[in-house]
């Protein structure tokens, strides 16, 4: 049991979206947002809606908001404010930044990805390989879905330019030793390119401690609005030539890689989301999620096959499983009819499902800190009925 004070009822009271019978185990596809995030978005649109660079008050407020957003992002990521980049979503940012980086590369250069990745950190490299004659290598995973570091190291050569990998699997919840993979990448002279989308709601990010050169995540996965957020190490951002329109400013550094007008109202929601997470604290979040994750694992019926690590060590509280004799869709639809929201399929984790031999994918239940023990028990009770 956790010794960290955590009042889940008080947390849930901050979310109007949770005031219904639906048990949200769909957080891996996007979390619910607290009312303060919604209020911040609405307040911006009511009181400050303008573009930047105007000689009037609402424009100046918007400029202050953009600055505050960079400060909030830097706090969340452990970076400098000018090393953050905002965009539409992780995948769009990844396509753009991968092409920017590849301006320095030559035919035959190599990228290593993993079979644990979401396809948002695979397809951008496959498409680059198609366009530029690059080589994409896949680092394998073990049967328990942990990343095979020996296999990854064996994929590295003097032509490796990037090692792209997840902090946590969006499909099976497995954690990756980010600092060790980054170390291996750097020993090969490659960039450590981290997808932290799925890890974002589950634990603190420190890009320096992780050794990340590029890291991309999605605020809508950690109680914020639909938005993409990236970090790039300053020496890379200074060296890369960005895709941008000519009049756009080169300062701050990360802004060089932001195309078009930023979604200012979503930035207001993002700042509120970071403040919300700070108000709860990672220690309390992680302790509660671990407790509920252990409850789920201990109560999972024998009729269910779990894919991945069978404890709360080396994983976050995201679980992929199948029910004997039932398709993932049938299970998800039946749970939905009982006001329990889960996902089914491959969740864009194409390589994981291939590796596990799951043609139809699996059922995915994701636990975040606003879930309750009663909700976990409801889910386990329904799984007993199949």
The confidence band for 4, taking pLDDT boundaries of 50, 70 and 90, is low
Options 1.10.3720.10, 3.20.130.10, 3.90.1150.10, 3.30.70.1560; which CATH number does 8-25+281-384 get? 3.90.1150.10
Cα 300 to Cα 298: distance, rounded to the nearest angstrom: 6
Separation of alpha carbons 78 and 85, rounded Å? 14
Q: pLDDT by residue (tens digit) across 307-365?
A: 999 999 999 999 999 999 999 999 999 999 999 999 999 999 999 999 999 999 999 99
| Fold for the domain defined by 39-277 | 3.40.640
Per-residue pLDDT tens digits for 46-71: 999 999 999 999 999 999 999 999 99
Same fold, 8-25+281-384 and 39-277: no
The predicted structure's pLDDT at residue 5: 73
Helix (H) or strand (E) holding 328: helix 328-337
pLDDT at residue 1 greater than cutoff 80:
no
Q: Are strands 160-166 and 110-114 parallel, antiparallel or unpaired?
A: parallel
Contact, 112 vs 122, CB < 8 A?
no
pLDDT in tens, 10-44: 999 999 999 999 999 999 999 999 999 999 999 99
Domains in the chain: boundaries: 8-25+281-384, 39-277
The strand pair at 135-139 and 110-114 is best described as parallel
pTM confidence score: 0.96
When pLDDT is cut at 50, 70 and 90, the band that residue 2 belongs to is: very low
């Amino acid at each position: 049991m956790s010794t960290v004070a955590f009042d889940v009822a008080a947390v849930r009271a901050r979310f109007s979206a949770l005031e219904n019978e639906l048990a949200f185990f769909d957080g891996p596809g996007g979390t619910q947002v607290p009312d303060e995030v919604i209020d911040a978005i609405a307040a911006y649109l009511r009181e400050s809606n303008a573009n930047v660079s105007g000689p009037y008050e609402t424009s100046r407020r918007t400029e202050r908001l953009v600055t505050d957003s960079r400060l909030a992002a830097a706090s969340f990521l452990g970076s400098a404010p000018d090393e953050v980049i905002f965009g539409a979503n992780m995948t769009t940012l990844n396509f753009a930044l991968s092409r920017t980086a590849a301006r320095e590369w030559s035919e035959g250069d190599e990228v290593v990805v993993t079979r644990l990745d979401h396809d948002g950190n695979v397809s951008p490299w496959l498409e680059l390989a198609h366009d530029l004659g690059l080589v994409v290598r896949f680092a394998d995973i073990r049967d328990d879905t942990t990343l095979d570091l020996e296999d990854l190291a064996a994929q590295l050569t003097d032509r490796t330019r990037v090692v792209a990998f997840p902090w946590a699997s969006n499909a099976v919840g497995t954690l990756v030793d980010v600092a060790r993979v980054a170390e291996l990448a750097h020993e090969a002279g490659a960039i450590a390119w981290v997808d932290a989308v799925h890890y974002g709601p589950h634990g603190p990010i420190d890009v320096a401690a992780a050794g990340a050169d590029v890291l991309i995540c999605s605020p809508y996965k950690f109680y914020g609005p639909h938005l993409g957020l990236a970090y790039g190490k300053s020496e890379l951002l200074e060296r890369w030539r960005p895709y941008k329109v000519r009049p756009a400013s080169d300062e701050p550094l990360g802004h060089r890689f932001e195309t078009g007008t930023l979604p200012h109202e979503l930035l207001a929601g993002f700042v509120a989301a970071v403040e919300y997470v700070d108000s709860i604290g990672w220690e309390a979040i992680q302790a509660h999620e671990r407790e509920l994750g252990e409850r789920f694992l201990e109560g999972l019926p024998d009729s269910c096959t779990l894919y991945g690590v069978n404890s709360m060590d080396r994983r976050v509280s995201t679980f992929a499983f199948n029910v004997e004799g039932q398709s993932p869709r049938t299970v998800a639809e039946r749970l939905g009819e009982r006001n329990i929201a889960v996902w089914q399929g491959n969740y864009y984790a194409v390589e994981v499902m291939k590796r596990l031999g799951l043609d139809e994918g699996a059922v995915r239940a994701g636990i975040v800190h606003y879930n309750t023990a009663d909700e976990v028990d409801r889910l386990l009770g329904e799984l007993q009925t199949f």
